[in-house]
Structure formats: C-alpha cells, structure tokens
Structure 1
Amino acid sequence: MAASGVGLVVPVQGGHQRPAVTELRLSAFASHRAARFALGPVTFFTGPSGSGKSQALAAYEALSALASGAVLEEAFPDASACIPERALPDEEGRRGFRIGCTVEGPAGPVRLDLAVQAEPVLRIVGERLSGGGQVLLSTALRDPGRSSVQAAWLTGGSTGVTRAPLPDDRLGTALLPLRVAGATAGQRQVLAAAEQVVVALRSVFPCDPSPERMRAPVPQGEGRLLRDCANLADVLRRTRHECGTRHAMLAGAAQTGCAGPVRGLDVRAPVNGPVKALLDRGPARPATELGRLGAGELRFLALALVLLTGPGVLAVDPAAELLAARQALTVLADGFDRALDRRQSAELLRLAQLACGRGHIRLVAAVGEACADTARGIAGVTVVDLGHERHA
C-alpha cells in the first residue's frame, strides 16, 4: 500500500443508511454535566489528564453493553464512580447519573435517554426513546419496593399506548422486539426506532492493545481479535490465509509504522502448535519476531489491523438479524496514540480516514494533543477538546 498523506478523503456512501451514533450525551455523568458531543465518522476526544476523555468512552461502552443485553451491574461495574462529582443524595439517600445518545439511520434521528440510580440500589429509574417528534417508549419507577419499572410504548389507533412492567436492570429499548408485535403503524414505528438504536450500539469493539500480552506465541484459535489484542499472532494467521488483500494492506502499513525494512508479515504455525508472527525483512535479512518489537510498533500493528478488518475478524457480536452491509462497526479506543510516534499516529489517522470514509466503520478514541493537532481540519474527523469545553 502506498503511503500517502493524511489528507486522503473518501466520500461516505449511503449517508446514514447504516445506523450510527451521532451524538453522545452525558447529562450528569462522573465529571461531565450537561455535556453533548457530536460524533462523526472519526471522533477524537482530547484534553488534559482528568478532563473526562476515558469517562466519555466508558459511557458509550456501557450503552453498548446494555443494548447487547447486559444487566446494569455488568455495564456499570463501578456505578458509584459514575455519579456526578459533588452530587448530594436526596432525602432517601438516592444518587445516580444520566446518559443518552442519538442514533441516525433509516428511521431518522432517534434519541435514547437513560436515568440510572446508583445508590443505594443500582437500577434504571427512567428511560425515554423518542423519534419523529413523539415519545415512543418511556419508563418510570413507580414502586421502589419492586424490581421493575412501569413502561409505556406507542401503539397507535384507539389504544394509544401499551403499558406493562419491565425489569429495572435492563435496557427497555433492547427488550421491545420481544414485547411489541408490530401489528399497528405505531408499533412498527417503535420497533424500527428500537432496532436502529440496538443495531448501532451493539456494533461496538472496545480496543486497547496490551503490548506485553502480544509478545509470546499464542495457541491456535478461531482468529477473532480480543480487546487487548493478545492473540494478534493467531489473527494474522487467519488473515494471511483468508483475507489476502487486507493482509497485504496491513503489511504495507507496517512499512510505515515499524522501524527498518518490512517486506511482509509472516506467520509460523506448526500443526496444533503455538502461532508465532514475524516481520519479513527481505532477502538476506533475518525475520523479526513480533515479541521483539517496541510497544509502539505492536500497538500500531494491532490498531491498523482493527481499522483494516471488520466484525468477522474482531471479537464483537453485531446484530445477527441485520445484514453486515447495513451495519457500521464502531471502534472505541482509549489512548489511541499511546506509545506511538508522530509517524505512526499519522499513518493510523490515514487508515482511519480510509476505512471510516467508506461508511462501514467508525472510530471514537481518546488521544493526546499532538495527535489531535494533526487531525484538526481534516475532513470527516471531529476533534472534541474537553479542556476547551470545560473553560468555555
């Protein structure tokens, strides 16, 4: 792959036909209050330490987990840390947080807003799904003694709305396809909006490569990249045999992101033995095992692989009921440029533009100021400066 500048622009095909989260709202979450962040094909959160970059990504990941069917304790393992700073309990000792998002797609803009009680008991106390100027689903905690909320969703016709209890530890929007028949126009509107939100939020791959876990040979497996990328060698084994074009593109990127000459990416995998990945240095030069590369080189290779592949090669569970061509995978990367030099960061930004410009992948990442400066002004890249936001 020829190494070109970061100014490459590939037009998005199909607009928002693939459901995509276009706004993240942290109304009251950790250090954020009344925060609204527009998300583009590539979105970089930047700012000083403690400005809330990781918190924004954690909120997005939690919404994704809930849309995938997780209970609140799984989505928010440390719920007390999500309570806004200096938030005081009410007369009954209750404290909580509020988050939400907007998903655009074939059903138009759809808003999801969620109110969570974190103390003294973790539970959802309010959820609202709205679109087309209507409230499609709303829930409220009516009886604190019950582990349920009272839900009402649009039915249309003479009935107007349907009311029923829903669990207070799960996202009601994700449960609607099991509860709504779709027999009326109103019900079909509710189902279309819920499906759009669930599809966009489920198609998420949180990625934080851990170089120290990527150095040793790994057992042969199914070749789906894990969150920490510890099984990178096994995934390279798979892409080398099944995805020749993308494997070659990754090898081309390695020429820019790895020190010294790189002719290709090789894999040694004895029958039933551990997989070892190497950089092919060319004729008369010994290959370099991945375990001998620097931390920045390993993180670069893992992130480049993520940007150049898709759900079939990543350990992600997209919505099986919808064709892959109608889904956009969102990569969440905290510390996207950690341990990378400017050359590596610029090449990853170029790959992100190339992949995200096609519309099948989106990137939401936390980055340092140097990477953010490089990205500012590039088409398709949104830079959210939390340091500026706090002092605006």
Structure 2
Amino acid sequence: MAVPSVSAEPPAADASPVTVLAQSRRSPDVRARVTELRLSAFAGHRRAGFPLGSVTLFAGPSGAGKTTALAAFEALARLGGGAPLGEAFPDPVACVPARARPDAEGRRGFRIGCTADGAEGPVRLDVAVQAEPVLRVVGERLTAGGVVLLETALRDPGRRTVQAAWHTAGSAPVTRAPLPDDRLGTALLPLRVAGKTDGQRQVLAAAEQMVVALRSVFACDPRPDRMRAPVPTGSGRLLPGCDNLADVLWRTRAECARRHGRLVEALRAGCAGPVADLVAEPLSDGTVRALLDRGEGWCTELARLGDGELRYLALTLVLLTGPGVLDVDAPGEVPDALRSLTVLADGFDRALDPVQRRELLQTAARMGERGHIRCVAAVSDASWAAGAEGVTVVHLKP
C-alpha cells in the first residue's frame, strides 16, 4: 500500500526543507500546547518537522507549502475535536504527495503528526491516512516517555474499523478493541479507557493533553469585505472570517475594559488619523455597527477603513481576547491555566503596511510571552521579523 506505516521516529535531520532562524525559549509552564508539526508525507512536504514556538512564522514564496502547513495543523485540530476525516480533509487526494504511486489495489495516502507539550511532558501523535480509494485512518500511534500508549492498524479492509491496542500495565500489558476508521483514536480514548491501572491513567493523561492542545486552535482569516456592514447581534463569539466583528466589539467593550483599552492603544499605532476609542452602536433594525471614535464628536464607520486597517483591527482583537470570545470548541472542563489558545493566521501580513505588521507581531509576542495565546502564521517574506524576540521564523523552500 502507498500509505507508509506510522512511525514514532523523528524525521531525518537533513530531510526537512526548513531553516530555523530564531526560536523562542522553551516555556516552563504546563499548559497543553502543540510544539511541533510533522508532515512526514503530506502534499508537497516529505519528512518535514516544524518547531512551533509561542509565535511562529512560516515564510517562503508562493508554492513553498506555507498554507499547506497551516491547513495540516487545522486538520489535526479538527480531528482532536472529534470531527470525522471527511470534515478535517475535505479534499484528501490533494493531501497525497504528488509522486506517491498507488499500490496494487489502487490505495494512496499521507502521513501527518504533531507533538504536544504539557504536564505529561512531550506527547507524540502520528497518523497514517488512506485517501484513495476510501478515506480512512489506517494507522495511529500515541507515544510518551518512550512508551507506545496507543497503536492502531487496519487489519481487515472490508470493515470500517481499525484494531486498536492501548497500554494497560495491569494483568494484561495492553487492551485490544476495534475503533472506527474515520475518527482519531486518541480523541476517543477518554470514552474507552477505564483509568483503573497506572498504565491506563498514563494513557488517559497523555490523550487528554493531546486533545486539549488540538482543540484549543482558532484558524483566523479576516475578510474585510464582510466586516464593513452592520451585523445582527448574536452570540458575541468571533467567527474565523471576523464577519461579526461589530457584534463582538459590542460584547468585549462592556466585559473587559482593560483589554479594550489595549485594543484602542494598538489602533492608535496602526490606523490613520486620531483614535480616541472603538465603539459599537446598536441600530433600530436590530443590527450593530462599529465605529472609530476620532474625538470631539467625530466618528468613522468601519466601512470607510482600508483593507489593511480592518485586517489589523481584526487580528489584534483576536490576539487580545481568548477562547471565551473566539468561536472555538475549547474544552470547558479544563481550566485556563492548563491550556493555551493557538491562533492560525494565513496571510498574516496581507494588506498590512510596515508599521501595522510590526505592531501586530509585537502584540503577538507579548501575548505569547504570557503563555495564554500562541500564534502560528504564514507570510511571504519574514525579513521584517528577523531578530524579533520570542519569534520563531521557519523558511520554506519550494
């Protein structure tokens, strides 16, 4: 079969097409967070391992694989949240390496993985997916401390299950049971493992750390064309395209004056003209619009702002808020002290001028230093970020 077996071995040191220029120091806290993305065989990436710091910029020309890397991270996040494979990979054939040849039965696939750090130390997840002729998981491995905690394999292609074995360390060394082949087994373990032995508790702790790290991901791509018009009042949770920015501002301005004040300070640096405040105004038709208060009774509607100003505003708001405001399915049973929200931003510097992108990067670095917000973004050129403290720059080559 053209889908290689899952391997917990690290990629070859000379095989990754990346050069790391600067890397933030390892955080000593215990918040669950993804610290490495592995694309062993995924689209244009082969045997690639990408270190992820508190702020990570993927840089490179068009076609280098920046968007692909972020899409892979988002797909893992969806799987960690319990989504089926078809939702995580809507076009799975595009994920198969271009030169991957099908086996005698026409099967091709890809391999993907990550490492999540936290209270349990580094926990590795590696997944092999068959994309053709049927989308399914054909192998998965969860390891921590040199111990294989979960391993699955496709034993009978005629059944929509994989055979799973997880660490028990009781009267029997492992427990075996079938799991569905369209879900991430790691995300299902908390529902299947009893936690009666030390081994089972180790499995649960590692799986929960991985799931918490993956579920705490918010993929964001602000769309200025959708941010200018008034919007209906709703949940006050920011959508990935930031379409409902005005509704969110209506909520956050009242709930957290300190963060709102920081947002206004950032807007003074990144928006043309004076900025006294950022306000949300309810309209008679039940919608709400956002305005920049210029002072002395003069306001500017967001509709009049340029694309760069709107993207700068939206991304700054994302970095200054948290999972309670962003539309992310964060694990509510886990306290904030044990999780760190990761923001994925493709085209991080799109439409921004040099001042805006510098201010935005500084905001990301400050929030990353506190540990609650991490940022993984893609830019075409990261020369302007060289030497920035707390920033990891990963250069990709076509």
Q: TM-score, normalised by structure 1?
A: 0.94
| Equivalences for residues 140-179 of structure 1 within 5 A | 140-179=153-192
CA separation in 1, counterparts of 2:284 and 2:217? 33
Opposite residue 229 of structure 1, the aligned amino acid is: C
CA separation in 1, counterparts of 2:330 and 2:336? 8
8 Å CA contact 1:207–1:333 kept in 2: the answer is: yes
Residues 155-208 of structure 1: CA distance to partner in whole angstroms, max 9, x if unpaired?
A: 002200000000000000000000001000000000010000000000000000
CA separation in 2, counterparts of 1:12 and 1:254? 29
Name the residue aligned to 2:334.
Answer: 322
8 Å CA contact 2:283–2:289 kept in 1: the answer is: no
| Equivalences for residues 67-78 of structure 1 within 5 A | 67-78=80-91
Name the residue aligned to 1:383.
Answer: 393
8 Å CA contact 1:376–1:382 kept in 2: the answer is: no
Shift of 1:12: 8.6
Opposite residue 394 of structure 2, the aligned amino acid is: V
Is 1:49 matched up with 2:62? yes
CA separation in 2, counterparts of 1:190 and 1:112? 12
Q: TM-score, normalised by structure 2?
A: 0.92
Aligned residues: 375
| Alignment equivalent of 1:200, drawn from 196, 201, 213 | 213
| Equivalences for residues 312-391 of structure 1 within 5 A | 312-369=324-381, 372-387=382-397
| Alignment equivalent of 1:293, drawn from 276, 297, 305 | 305
Name the residue aligned to 2:136.
Answer: 123
Change (3 A) 1:337 1:14: closer
Shift of 1:238: 0.6
CA separation in 1, counterparts of 2:341 and 2:374? 6
CA separation in 2, counterparts of 1:231 and 1:198? 28
8 Å CA contact 2:82–2:184 kept in 1: the answer is: yes
CA separation in 1, counterparts of 2:305 and 2:252? 20
Residues 321-353 of structure 1: CA distance to partner in whole angstroms, max 9, x if unpaired?
A: 211221100000000110101100000011001
Name the residue aligned to 1:25.
Answer: 38
Name the residue aligned to 2:8.
Answer: none
Shift of 1:374: 2.3
Higher deviation after alignment, 22-31 or 275-284: 275-284
Is 1:40 matched up with 2:50? no
| Alignment equivalent of 1:96, drawn from 88, 100, 109 | 109
Percent identity at matched positions? 68
Opposite residue 275 of structure 2, the aligned amino acid is: V
Query: Structure 1 residue runs of 4+, over 3 Å off?
Result: 11-14
CA separation in 1, counterparts of 2:107 and 2:188? 26
Alignment RMSD: 1.3
Opposite residue 294 of structure 1, the aligned amino acid is: G
| Alignment equivalent of 2:124, drawn from 89, 102, 111 | 111
In structure 2, list runs of 5 or more residues that go unmatched. 1-23
8 Å CA contact 1:203–1:316 kept in 2: the answer is: yes
| Equivalences for residues 210-359 of structure 1 within 5 A | 210-270=223-283, 273-283=286-296, 286-359=298-371
8 Å CA contact 1:280–1:287 kept in 2: the answer is: yes
